[in-house]
Amino acid sequence: MQRRVKQWRGLYGPPKEVYFPQIHKPGQLCESDFTNMGPLGVTIGGQPFEHLLYHFVLTYSNWETGNICYSESFASLSEGLQGALWKLGGVPRAHKTDKLSAAVQKPKCAEEFTSRYWALLNHYGMEGRKANASSPHENGDVEQSHYRLKDAIDQALMLRGNRDFSSSSEYGKFLDKVFEQLWASGAAGRGAEGAKASACKAPGELQAFDGKGGAQ
pTM for the model stands at 0.78
Where exactly are the structural domains of the chain? 24-185
Residues with Cβ within 8 Å of residue 126, at least 6 apart in sequence: 91, 92, 93, 94, 95
- The DSSP line for 76-104 is HHHHHHHHHHHHHTS--SEEEE-S-TTTB
First to last CA, the chain: 71
Confidence of residue 104 (pLDDT cuts 50, 70, 90): confident
- Measured CA to CA, the distance from residue 104 to residue 146 in angstroms comes to 21
- Measured CA to CA, the distance from residue 194 to residue 196 in angstroms comes to 5
For 125-155, write each residue's pLDDT tens digit: 999 998 765 544 444 557 778 889 999 999 9
Architecture of domain 24-185: 2-Layer Sandwich (3.30)
For 45-79, write each residue's pLDDT tens digit: 999 999 999 999 988 888 899 999 999 999 999 99
Q: Which of 85, 31, 33 is nearest to 58 (CA)?
A: 31
112 near 104, Cβ under 8 Å? yes
